[in-house]
Chain A
Amino acid sequence: MAEYSTPTSEQEFQLNFAQLKPHMNRTEALYESSRCLFCFDAPCIKACPSGIDIPQFIRQINSGNDTGAARTIYDANYFGNACGKVCPTEVLCEGACVYNLQDVKPIEIGRLQSYATTKVIESGKKLFGPGEANGKRVAVIGAGPSGISAACELRALGYEVDVFEAKSQPSGLTVYGVAPYKITNEETLAEMAYLQAQFGYNVHFNSPINSREELAELENKYDAIFLGIGLGKTNDLGLAGEDKINCTGAVEFIAELRQHHHQVAVGRKVIVLGGGNTAMDAASESARLGAENVVLAYRRGKEEMGAYDFEYDLAKGVGVKGLFNVAPVEIVGNGYVAGVKFIRTETKEGKVSEIAGSEFVELCDMVIKATGQAKQTDFLSLIPGLKVDSKGRIVADAHTGQTTNPQYFASGDAWNGGAEVVNAAAEAKLTARGIHAYLSK
């Protein structure tokens, strides 16, 4: 098959990974924004976890007030630009657009959002600034969507903020975990630079916090600590042969791809294990890297996959094949991956069972596991009094984000178990206000 040839240069890479939501020009933005009906009590706002006043910013774009539009967006969501590109708008704002009910294409809200915010980022216009200093300090662990959003909001409330990030770049998932055809590194980092210039928080890169001593130091130096640590590495499946060369986790594979583009090698025949959105991304990316054959293997039926329909369609669109009702038993091969031994399954009353004697081997030379990410429970156990639930999620107050250790607050994937960038951005804003309420007592 191989719809895409293996990219050998950055230029070829860009061609294979062309942006799904390319930037709009002025005319496009004008035409698209003119279609908005300005619904009362708009369904799109309600469908947005961050509650952006969407009809308002669309009208602002339409009347030539792009800066005002960007302000409306950032007022609700500090990852306004990134969300415009990476949000599953098909099931959020655009999915709620009233035009869907008339069989008319919904307003391209995501692209309009990126249009307005890109303009303001490029102009460097100052829209926001830190609030009057209140003398208190907050440490933020993790420079991902939740950590940076919290940092912005806390600065606006007058706190001094230090962000500690293990990696060398900010924005977490947005630069390490999202498929490259959804957003580019340049776009992500430009928004991060813009926010930092506006709010003036400090970010310490390559500064992982992973010992009790380091935490104790933060507890002494700061009035509150915000946990925006996200999720960990790809879960181990506990299969025989999982340690073979070319058997990798989807999170790791995508992070590698986002940083090294065409220099990332992919197998000729790739099997992706999993049925979630990350599995769709990994499969689609393998195909765009030139794999001749990409198979998506899921242990239940197609209908039961966790991935959004449009994500599966995207993968199918680049030639990915589905293999359903199969469970991996063993990664076979001699040092290198040579195939996956599967057993067929069936689902009865919601329960998956294996069909005895139905084993078979599907040959491949690369396996990508998109079977969920581990929780960072080892790290969390270093925090005294901090509770996690049975699924490894931080237990915190739904409105304030305060954990069972009153000095610690949490948001994002580590709290919600793994959701969209927009959820993390919205929650972090709430939690920052929770910190403010706590420290203002």
Chain B
Amino acid sequence: MPDLSINFAGIKSPNPFWLASAPPTNSGYQIMKAFDAGWGGAVWKTLGVPVVNVSSRYGGVNYRDKRLVGFNNIELISDRPLADNLREIEEVKKRFPNHAVIASLMVQTRQEWHDIVRQSQDAGADGFELNFGCPHGMCERGMGSAVGQEPKVLQMIVEWVMEVATKPVIVKLTPNISDITEPAMAARRGGADAISLINTIQSIVGVDLDKFAPYPIVDGKGSNGGYCGPAVKPIALNMVKNCAQHPDIKLPISGIGGIENWRDAVEHILLGASSVQVCTAAMHFGFGIIREMTSGLEQYMVDKGFNTIYDFVGKALPNVLHWEDLNMKYKVTANIHEDKCIGCQLCYTACEDGAHQAIKLNAGTRVPEIIEENCVGCNLCSLVCPVEDCITMDRTDDGTQHLTWKERTQAGTAPTEFNDEKAGGRHHWVPEPAAALGKERHKTLPGKARVLNGETELPATA
């Protein structure tokens, strides 16, 4: 059986799944329950001078029938006395000595940092995560993302922490910045042992149409919050990749953002994370989702022949290139498999209105047809097609040629003038503008794409 355990910058954990610092890690009760369910570690909800919270605190983005594809909050760090939290950390560590308990911290002065690091260490925390990411409430007080956005300040605070820390220090980064690698390098310069990302993205998830206020609404008013949930995964993956690929950072990465199942976790790992943190999914579905995550990860490792997590950390990184290094001679063309087509014609509208007018409709059938010479291989039709494998993108170049933009630039064959003949890609046919006018909407025949089991069509009555 593969070994799921990790040693993350010196923090040991039976599996790479940690609960992120957030409401699910507010108390010893929750963390013990989570460890009991199978979570490998937990980053305790941020300790500091306790806050007072408002209600409500959470906003959701529902997409069609799917609830909370995006989620935000205006909740702050722990509102519980530090002494209570420290006592509970001690108790959790006593019962779960092999699980990772990491104290998330956020204070202001050098003295406060020294004090809270020492106290957490004494309570038995396995490491620290410095919260330089919180994008609401705390940043206005000069903490959280206010620090994450100022590399110099960030580095200085990391240095303060390193003066007293005897356990590994993780710096949690904010995505509310133009280049995530800058604060990551500052963390490295300050001596941090690892980084974690991303924290939440400053957001407004929606506006109440009747109350004219953003969600979540507090007595008729609202505030920007921190965005997270499945919707932020693409942003998180890109930032994890940027840090993992950067030659000067070279720190273990704890990946955070949109992890809801084992597949999401594997994606973070393939792009360089070696532990992953989960919050929204646990808030949405409870701690029980860990069973699916660990079993899925284990099965994936068995299938791929990976013995440890480190066998595939960053395995996708060599395949993430700059655009200018991609092969422009590689060509795929859409292929509609008639036997699978259900005749929805979504591919037709997508290509007609949103792409390159490379699909046509024919009288007598609802199965659209690809106009091959016009297909640029963009993928849009296969992405909108609701049937698995009905539209495939098949390779149509002979595989012998390789040419990149960088090479074209160096060879002087890249367009340089505004009306340069060298542009135009594959020169696909573009209709005259006036041909767009008066296009009838309902022009194909009624009926089905195919007849199932020889059943004949019933007439739509007299």
Chain A residues within CB distance 8 Å of chain B: 30-31, 33-35, 37-43, 45-49, 62, 91-92, 95-96, 98-102, 308, 416-417, 419-420, 423
Contact = CB atoms under 8 A, between A and B. Distances in A.
Contact of B448 (A91, A101, A423): A101
A37 B446 contact: no
Nearest to B449: A101
A101 B452 contact: yes
A423 B64 contact: no
B434 interface: no
Interface string B437-460: 000011110111110100000101
Most buried by A among B348, B446, B460: B460
B462 A419 contact: yes
Closest 3 CB pairs of A and B: A34-B65, A46-B446, A34-B64
Interface in B304-326: none
Contacts of A419: 461-462
Given A41-B443, A43-B366, A423 B462 contact: yes
A95 B452 CA distance: 12
Given A40-B345, A423-B462, 10 more contacts: A34-B66, A37-B344, A37-B346, A41-B443, A41-B444, A48-B460, A96-B448, A101-B342, A101-B448, A102-B387
B343 A98 contact: yes
Most buried by B among A34, A39, A41, A420: A41
A102 B342 contact: yes
Nearest to B341: A101
9 contacts: A34-B64, A37-B344, A39-B343, A40-B344, A40-B345, A40-B348, A41-B443, A92-B461, A98-B448
Nearest to A93: B460
Nearest to B446: A46
Contacts of A49: 460-461
B345 A39 contact: yes
Contacts of B345: 39-41
A33 B64 CA distance: 8
Contacts of A101: 342-343, 448-450, 452
A29 to B, nearest CB: 10
Nearest to B442: A41
Nearest to B447: A43
Interface string B66-79: 10000000000000
Contacts of A43: 343, 366, 446-448
B462 A416 contact: yes
Interface of B: 64-66, 342-346, 348-349, 366, 386-387, 441-444, 446-450, 452, 458, 460-462
A43 B65 CA distance: 23
Most buried by A among B342, B344, B345, B450: B344
A95 B456 CA distance: 12
Contacts of A102: 342, 386-387
A39 B65 contact: no
Contacts of A39: 343-346
A349 to B, nearest CB: 20
A47 B343 CA distance: 14
A46 B442 contact: yes
B292 to A, nearest CB: 22
Nearest to A47: B460
A228 B114 CA distance: 89
B125 to A, nearest CB: 43
Contact of B461 (A30, A38, A99, A423): A423
Contact of B462 (A34, A46, A62, A417): A417
A62 B64 contact: yes
Nearest to B353: A40
A98 B442 contact: no
Most buried by B among A40, A42, A47, A420: A40
Contacts of B65: 30-31, 33-35, 62
A31 B346 CA distance: 21
Nearest to A39: B344
Most buried by B among A39, A45, A49: A39
A40 B346 contact: yes
Contacts of B366: 43
Nearest to A309: B458
Contacts of A42: 344
Nearest to B450: A101
Contacts of B387: 102
Contacts of A46: 442, 446-447, 460
B250 to A, nearest CB: 45
A35 B64 CA distance: 9
A102 to B, nearest CB: 6
A92 B462 contact: no
Most buried by A among B66, B342, B450: B342
A151 B338 CA distance: 47
A98 B449 contact: yes
B311 to A, nearest CB: 38
A45 B345 CA distance: 14
B378 to A, nearest CB: 18
Nearest to A422: B461
Nearest to A90: B458
B342 A98 contact: yes
A40 B349 contact: yes
B355 to A, nearest CB: 14
Most buried by B among A92, A101, A420, A423: A101
Nearest to B64: A34
Contacts of B462: 416-417, 419, 423
A262 to B, nearest CB: 33
Contacts of A41: 345, 441-444
B451 to A, nearest CB: 9
A212 B450 CA distance: 54
Nearest to A87: B461
Contacts of B64: 30, 33-34, 62
Contacts of A420: 461
Given A100-B452, A416-B462, A38 B346 contact: yes
Nearest to B345: A40
A39 B368 CA distance: 13
Contacts of B344: 37, 39-40, 42, 98
A96 B447 CA distance: 7
A401 to B, nearest CB: 15
B367 to A, nearest CB: 11
A373 to B, nearest CB: 15
B383 to A, nearest CB: 13
Nearest to B63: A34
A419 B459 CA distance: 12
A39 B452 CA distance: 19
Nearest to A55: B344
Contact of B386 (A31, A37, A416): A37
Nearest to A91: B458
A100 B349 contact: no
Nearest to A45: B442
Contacts of A95: 458
A62 B65 CA distance: 8
Contacts of A99: 342
Contacts of B448: 43, 96, 98, 100-101
Contacts of A38: 346
Contacts of A33: 64-65
B67 to A, nearest CB: 10
A35 to B, nearest CB: 8
A425 B387 CA distance: 35
B12 to A, nearest CB: 44
Contacts of B461: 49, 91-92, 419-420, 423
Contacts of A62: 64-65
A49 B345 CA distance: 22
B408 to A, nearest CB: 38
